[in-house]
Structure 1
Amino acid sequence: MKTDVEELTPTRVKLTVEVPFDELKPNLDRAYKEIAKQVRIKGFRPGKVPAPLIDQYVGRGAVLQEAVNDALPELYGRAVEESEIFVLGQPEVEITALDDGKEMTFTAEVDIRPKFEVPDYDGIEVTVDEATVTDEEIEETLNTLRERFGSLTAADRPAEEGDFVSIDMSAAVDGEPVEDASTTGYSYEVGSRSSVEGLDDALVGMSAGESKTFTSTLVGGEKAGQEAEITVTVQSVKVKNLPAADDEFAQLASEFDTIAELREDLRTRLLRNKRMQQIGQARDKALEALLEQIDIPLPDKVVEDEIQRRNEQLEQQLQWSGLTKEAYLEREGKTAEEFDTEIAEAARQAVKGGFVLDQLALQEELGVENEELSEYVVTQAMQMGVQPQQLAQHLTDSGQIPALVSEVLRTKALNLLVEHVKITDEAGNELDLEAIQRELNGETVTPEETAESAETEESAEAKAEDTAEAETEEAKDEETKGKADSES
């Protein structure tokens, strides 16, 4: 088999593959067997029809087509492997010549990952948020917890923001009632802005028994996106009373006996969250900094697929939340053009980041062990709330194992990058992400260990410098000796 590679663009190639007919013999044999099972010729049992009769009754062309279709995936795979290219997506294949008994030629156009080298990433510096917890943040979290234990009592006054009202709602479009847009006895927090636009403004100042009609755009149902006349009737107005932040509340809402202990626990939890955010920020910013140093072309089709995937993901999320895209854009304060631009840029960055991490893994000769795959599957299964065996079987059956291997490799490449990056917080403190991760895992990290680690690194660097100096001196001695021998 002979393969020629023509570069159409830096991210797309055309393979021209010439295949001697002898290499198709196993595929021809299988084609004859498959067709023999399907044809019915008097005097022969299914599967036992001789090849000459199949040629006579079915046609040699049909057999050749079956054989070629059977052979193409393997032949294409071999051509890709021999050409040492990293293909993306499905190829456009065309049979350009099929000379029975002599040769077959086909072409395959396919997108490829661009060829480039990841530059030296030692010395990259990034800054992340400072992991400090303020008293205000603790009180805000405590108040959120108190909200969960609050009680509602009737208020003999018009509704205000923060009140809870029981309401009936109905909608009509062009005078026709919209059945799926009506509800009764709906409990709603005034000011939460979690329903149709205009509802919160309408409710403020309304008392129990009053009704009001306003115009808004429906966000769900068959008439989603259409303007409707919405009538709201207030059945009751209630105010939420929060429990006092005292020892009694601490005992009710937690395993602690005093409010001081509860506050300290909240501080610990908030600090843990901020530490985790630091790790995430460091990883994101390290990759961003590396991407800024690399300029590579991106395949249009791959970027388009990523844009489509992100849009479909957003549509699913909006359906779950009952929002239209128009309502979402209005809430975010973006135009459709601005949103599309942001999605396209994010998609390009994601594709570029994947390419860079793939190449980094290749340059550093990173690999994936079975234990790492298993650990990744277990982690994903826990996040999805399914059994690891169930997820592993699904990934295998759906052919997603190669994608899983790629994901684990990219994670390892990113971890390697972060190890070489200098990370400081906004206060100028240099961070050791490994120590932070160990702390989050419940391990004890002492100042002595940190100092010992630093001393070990300095010792290793000094030893490397001494070795280099010794090798240089030895080379000079050998050079001097060689000159002396030559002169003698």
Structure 2
Amino acid sequence: MRTNLEDISSVKKKIMVVIEADNVDKKLDEAYRDVQKKARIPGFRRGKVPRYILEKRFADQVIDDVSTALVKETFADAIKEIDIVPITEPVLNKETQLRQGEDFTYSVTLEVRPTFDLPEYMGIEIEKEKLVVDDQKVNDRIEKIREARGSLSSVEEGRPVQKGDFVVVNYEAFDGDVLLEDMTAKGAVIRIGDNRIHSEFDEALVGATRGDKREVSVVFDENDSRPVLAGKKIRFNVEVVDIKSLDLPDLDDDFVKQLDPSLKDVEDFKNRVREIITEEEKRRIERETKTKLLESIADKVDFELPQGVVNNELEAIVSNVKRELVGQGTDLERMGISEEKVREETT
């Protein structure tokens, strides 16, 4: 086997692999002997079919099988001999037709890690965020824990919608006189203040009571992530079906012991929450500080990115976007976004 490395670019290489004729002939002979043992051809006993008959009948299959086998047998050794490590899936191409008595050549196109000179990084100054875990952060986390264990109940008749309420609504959305079916829902639950649709939508429902119907006009930002809404004035017809408040469990010793029997009391719980937040913040600050350092070094380095790596990253982003939309009960098509649009906006 002979190999030769061709530089297509600093990160893209092409390896030419030549398998000598002697090895090709040996593999072809082995393949035809195997076919001869199994072939059933009228007029010939099994194992006695002449080679030229086998070649007429099975040449295409034998050549394909042998060439594939030769590539599999030699590919790893070729990569090792050239001493490079591919970072994306190699692309194989048969450069010559496999023939008796001739060398067989195939090529492998692959991408490798970019090489560059690391600039001087000692002495680079990076501002590190000061770790602060105050009572507000602890109380906010405790409120989230209580909310996660709260229960929803309908408010008394006549009590209007307040910020923080969970409102069950039916609504239709119109762009002019055109109904936007993908922005229409029945029995949707909206928490006032989360601004899931728009802050003006939530604000317009404050003060409404059960059974109220309201018309709400919202002007969406030009950069709204939902193309069907971006830059448009949308009219919503909203009906308030129900109003629910979130009843939180009391923050007492019984509650914290239900969370973790090892906790003694509320004060112990607060200390535990503070410790958890402190560890989380330490890891976050370390992670962000390292990122800042790497970004500072990267600004001083110029190198070519392997296109395969870029493509893989883009596909991962597209997949994440699609997964998030499914979690929200929609998809790219309903949002009026193409996969290509996601890739373009990412780059």
Give the TM interval when normalised to the shorter protein: 0.7 to 0.9
Kept in 2, the 8 Å contact 1:96–1:107? The answer is no
What amino acid is aligned across from residue 267 of structure 1 in structure 2?
R
Offset at residue 238 of structure 1 (A): 4.0
Say if 2:262 is the partner of 1:233.
no
Tell me the secondary structure at the aligned position of residue 90 of structure 2: strand
SS at match of 1:69: helix
Q: In structure 1, what is the Cα distance between the partners aligned to 2:152 and 2:20?
A: 82
Evaluate the alpha carbon distance shift between residue 111 and residue 253 of structure 1 in structure 2; reply closer, same or farther with a 3 A threshold: closer
Q: Which residue of 2 is the match for residue 414 of structure 1?
A: none
The one-letter code of the counterpart of 1:211 is: K
Whole-Å Cα distance in 1 between the matches of residues 268 and 212 of structure 2?
47
Task: Return the alpha-carbon distance in structure 2 between the equivalents of residues 40 and 232 of structure 1.
Answer: 77
Q: How big is each residue's C-alpha offset from its partner over 1:93-124, in whole Å with a ceiling of 9 and x where there is no partner?
A: 24246553132233443333334465777666
Partner of 2:2: 2
Partner in structure 2 of residue 142 of structure 1: 142
Q: Which residue is equivalent to 2:317?
A: 310
Measured after TM superposition, the shift of residue 181 of structure 1 is: 4.5
TM-score between the two structures when normalised by the length of structure 2:
0.74
**1:220-243 C-alpha deviation (Å, 9 max, x unpaired):** xxxx97578754322333444545
Partner of 2:206: 204
Equivalent position of 2:285 in the other structure = 278
Aligned length: 330
- Aligned residue for 2:106? 106
Residues 171 and 295 of structure 1: CA distance in aligned 2, closer, same or farther (over 3 Å): closer
SS at match of 2:110: strand
Which whole-Å CA distance do the structure 2 matches of 1:316 and 1:262 have between them? 35
Distance in 2 separating the partners of 1:216 and 1:177: 14
Does residue 1:161 correspond to 2:163, yes or no? Answer: yes
Post-superposition CA distance 1:154-209 (Å, at most 9, x none): 2533312222323344568977795995423x543222223578642442232112
Question: Which deviations, in whole Å up to 9, do the C-alpha atoms of 1:256-309 show, x marking residues without a partner?
Answer: 454322222221221121123234335434544554454332222332332232
State the match for 1:54 in structure 2. 54
Matched to 1:41, the amino acid is: I
Report how far residue 39 of structure 1 moved.
5.1
Displacement of 1:138 in angstroms is: 1.6
Corresponding position of 2:223: none
Q: Within 5 Å, give how 1:76-91 maps onto structure 2.
A: 76-87=75-86, 88-91=88-91
SS at match of 1:89: coil
**Contact kept in structure 2, 1:12 and 1:112, CA below 8 Å:** yes
How far 1:210 moved relative to its partner? Answer: 1.2
Say whether the 8 Å CA contact 2:170–2:238 is kept in structure 1.
Answer: yes
- Partner Cα distance (2:38, 2:186) in 1: 61
CA shift in 2, pair 1:208/1:99, >3 Å: closer
Other-structure match for 1:73: 72
Higher alpha-carbon deviation: 106-115 or 138-147: 106-115
**Distance change >3 Å, CA 179–CA 72, structure 1 → 2:** closer
One-letter code aligned to 2:210: A
Whether contact under 8 Å (1:315, 1:325) holds in the other structure is yes
| Structure 1 residues 44 and 327: alpha-carbon distance in aligned structure 2, compared to 1, 3 A threshold | closer
* Post-superposition CA distance 1:28-61 (Å, at most 9, x none): 24532565578541145677745332024444x6
The 1:25–1:236 alpha-carbon spacing in structure 2 relative to 1, beyond 3 Å, is same
| Deviation string, structure 1 residues 1-33 (Cα, Å, up to 9, x no partner) | 222222222122333333211112453245325
Name the SS for the 1:128 alignment partner. coil
Decide whether the 8 Å contact of 1:18 with 1:103 is kept in 2. yes
Kept in 2: contact 1:209–1:234 (CA 8 A): yes
CA distance in 2, matches of 1:180, 1:159: 22
Which amino acid in 2 is paired with 1:234?
V
Specify the code of the residue in structure 2 equivalent to 1:78: D
Q: Distance in 2 between matches of 1:260 and 1:77?
A: 62
Q: 1:231 to 1:278 in 2, by over 3 A?
A: same
Partner of 1:190: 192
Percent of aligned pairs with the same residue? 24
Gaps of 5+ in 2: 220-225
Whichever structure has more helix as a proportion of its residues is: 1
Q: Greater relative contact order (Cα 8 A, min sep 6): structure 1 or 2?
A: 2
Tell me: CA distance 1:238–1:89, structure 2 relative to 1, closer, same or farther (3 Å): closer
User: Alpha carbons of 1:17 and 1:172: their partners in 2 closer, same or farther (altered >3 Å)?
Assistant: same
Root-mean-square deviation (CA, aligned residues, Å) is 4.3
- Paired residues of 2:182 and 2:334 also in contact (CA < 8 A): no
- Partners of 1:167 and 1:150 lie apart in 2 by 19
Residues 21 and 104, structure 1, Cα contact 8 Å, conserved in 2: yes
Residue number in structure 1 paired with 2:222: none
Q: Within 1, Cα distance between the matches of 2:37 and 2:171? A: 66
Kept after mapping to 1: 8 A contact 2:253/2:264:
yes
Residue 22 of structure 2: aligned partner:
22
The answer on whether the counterparts of 2:17 and 2:105 sit within 8 Å (CA) in structure 1 is yes
> How many Å separate the matches in 1 of 2:125 and 2:79?
39
- How far the C-alpha of 1:135 sits from its partner, in A, is 1.4
Alignment partners' CA distance in 1, 2:291 and 2:335:
26
Does residue 267 of structure 1 match 2:274?
yes
